[in-house]
Amino acid sequence: MSERAAAGGGKWVDVAPERLPRWLENFATRHGPYTEEGLTLIAADGASAAWQPPPGAGPAATMTELIRLAQAPRRLGLLLARKGAVAAGIADGPELVVSKVDTHYVQGRTAAGGWSQQRFARRRDNQAKAAAADGAGIVGRILLPGVRDLTALVTGGDRTAVEAVLAPPPLRPLAEIRAERFLDVPEPRHAVLLSAIAGARAVSVLVREP
């Protein structure tokens, strides 16, 4: 379970689908009995918890329905990209069933000025384009063949890098099922891809204390 501050107050909490019933019990213990207004819980002490269905789960009108949908088996596509690194995979529930990780050298920025700076900038741009093309190729091989079985594509890393990887027209079917959720992850590696599954499957709740 992870937490992060929310704009406008409160905090976002990501809860694993399997832990939802226990989380609700703990919420009632801390804040007293609660009422449900759709997917928003209002506790006796004024605390609130507003839930969002996880990627690929579909809409839910009640907490009972949300729990059922969140815990149902889903196949999610994963795409993580940063600079010259890309990781793509398919998660069947909590298990990573297929994956590919690749790195491509992209030169860092330089403090040099004049022609040197322009030359390095052009070289860096060419390297970034080559990395994006390689990443697109990996995504096409790993994710595109089974796109019809995916309930959503969850992305993360660097937004510019992800957009570049998904830009080629043949990958449009994947872009069309891309979830709004964007994972904050370090440079993609196999271990990072494995840990990203939890973030992709989690149910997000906005908690505001009284």
pLDDT above 80 for 146: yes
The separation between CA 94 and the C-alpha centre of its own chain, rounded to angstroms, equals 14
Q: How many helices (H) and strands (E) does the chain have?
A: 6, 11
pLDDT above 50 for 171: yes
Same-domain status, 89 and 67: no
Predicted confidence at residue 111, as pLDDT, reads 47
Contact (CB, 8 A) for 69 and 57: yes
The total number of structural domains in the chain stands at 2
Same-domain status, 120 and 174: yes
pLDDT band of residue 123 (cuts 50, 70, 90) is low
Same-domain status, 110 and 179: yes
Question: What are the distances in angstroms from CA 22 to CA 27, 37, 67, 74, 136?
Answer: 9, 20, 11, 22, 40
pLDDT above 60 for 130: no
Predicted confidence at residue 83, as pLDDT, reads 81
Contacts of 1 (CB under 8 A, 6+ apart): 13, 14, 15, 16, 19, 202
pLDDT above 80 for 150: yes
How many Cβ atoms sit within 10 Å of the Cβ of residue 131? 24
**End-to-end Cα distance, the chain:** 22
pLDDT averaged over every residue in the chain: 89
Predicted confidence at residue 117, as pLDDT, reads 60
Beta strand 85-92 with 75-82 is antiparallel
pLDDT band of residue 144 (cuts 50, 70, 90) is very high
Same-domain status, 93 and 46: no
Dihedral sign of CA atoms 82, 88, 91, 94 in order: negative
Same-domain status, 90 and 52: no
Same-domain status, 103 and 179: yes
Domain span at residue 194? 75-199
Predicted confidence at residue 118, as pLDDT, reads 61
Same-domain status, 89 and 123: yes
More confident residue, 107 or 98: 98
pLDDT band of residue 64 (cuts 50, 70, 90) is very high
| Mean pLDDT value across residues 9-22 | 96
Same-domain status, 66 and 84: no
- Domain at 166, CATH number: 3.30.420.60
Same-domain status, 85 and 157: yes
Same-domain status, 106 and 174: yes
Same-domain status, 87 and 155: yes
Same-domain status, 57 and 80: no
pLDDT above 80 for 102: yes
pLDDT above 90 for 14: yes
Partner residues linked to 14 by β-bridges: 2, 204
pLDDT band of residue 133 (cuts 50, 70, 90) is low
